[in-house]
Amino acid sequence: MRAPRTMPTASDGARELAVLGSPIAHSQSPALHAAAYAVLGLPWSYGRADVTPDSLAEFVDSRSDAWRGLSLTMPLKQSVLPLVASLDETARLTGAANTILFDTDAAGGRVLRGFNTDVAGIVRALAAAGTTRAKSVLIWGGGATAASAVMAAAELGAELVTVQVREPGRAAHLVELGHAVGLRVDIRRFGEDAAERPDLVISTLPGSAGAAGAARDIVSGEATAAAAGEGALLLDVAYDPWPTEVVTVWNLLAHARGGRTAPLSGLAMLVHQALLQVRVFVMGDPEREVAHEPDVLHAMLTAVGLDASGRR
């Protein structure tokens, strides 16, 4: 992905950014980005706006030239695709973009470029917590973030991904994605056992996925119980409220089997994907580091009360 024609500096003045979604009041993205731009010395403002798929195009079209970019969360990561001029390879494969850059084309006109920083955010958060490899991965949920989790599993060297959902027919696209990234994806209903014990479990379900009864239906099966008892890492991409019901049931299952557990909150993923968004907004490219990046990351982790491993 080419870089924008000019790189922003403090002398360029204030720029506007925001995270969009519905609901959005709980989002910690404003705190993360504010911490990053303070370290970088950029007088940028980053807010939040409750935007639905039906109002997304109007919101994007109404942004002034002061706007630099947008972060997108549920339910907008797929709805934004028709609005962008280009996608990075990760967004194209997953069919989901969580980052939009307001850029200029060769003629000086404004264009929108879409990126997916969730995949790298998952991988980087897991690495910070000590997990860099996984042969078998269990994913709960089949939406846009599940697609990112499948790609993250491929980067971790997984051979098999089991995806458990309520309606398997709606997750068929994840089988195709698995083929594209070189792994086998097995779709099963909640309550069915995984084909083998997972080394890593990723929940992509909303924090409000259900009460304890529903969570017990999700966190079920001998393979899952064995994973919990043997200390497999659970990354729950939700973080508000915390712990989620899924995490609570997972912990009980692990303790019943004599295991110890320290699930990773979605805040860790949020921080690491947000750092890559900062790269996009500042450098125009998620692969290009910003100045003083270790200090930027430290400030972002501190802003949401996490240590270097991504835990509270």
- pLDDT, residue 5, reads 41
Domains of the chain: residue spans and CATH? 10-116+268-303 (3.40.50.10860), 120-262 (3.40.50.720)
The pLDDT tens digits of the residues spanning 203-212 come to 999 875 555 5
pLDDT at 218: 93
| Average pLDDT along the chain | 94
Give the per-residue pLDDT at 312: 87
Listed in sequence order, the DSSP H helices in 43-160 are: 53-61, 89-94, 118-128, 144-155
Active-site choice (77, 113, 124, 272)? 77
Q: What is the pLDDT of residue 50?
A: 98
Q: What is the mean pLDDT of residues 111-140?
A: 98
Share of residues in the chain with pLDDT > 70 (%): 94
Which residue type sits at 242? Answer: W
Residue 181 banded pLDDT, cuts 50, 70, 90: very high
What pLDDT does residue 71 have? 98
Tens-place pLDDT, residues 217-266? 999 999 999 999 999 999 999 998 899 999 999 999 999 999 988 999 99
List, for residues 9-38, the tens digit of each pLDDT value: 545 679 999 999 999 999 999 999 999 999
The whole-angstrom separation of Cα 96 and Cα 118 is 9
Q: In a 10 Å sphere around its CB, with 0-12 CB exposed, 13-18 middle and 19+ buried, how is residue 25 labelled?
A: exposed
The angle at the Cα of 205, spanning 200 to 206, to the nearest 5 degrees, equals: 140
Tokens 């935007």, located at residue: 51
| Pick from 29, 14, 3: nearest CA to 277 | 29
CB 194 within 8 Å of CB 223: yes
Q: Say what the pTM is.
A: 0.94
Q: Based on the residue annotation, tell me whether 77 is a catalytic residue of this protein.
A: yes
Helix, strand, or coil here: 20? strand
Model confidence band, residue 3 (pLDDT cutoffs 50, 70, 90): very low
Residue 187: pLDDT over 70: yes
Which class for 192: exposed (0-12), middle (13-18), buried (19 or more C-beta within 10 A)?
Answer: middle
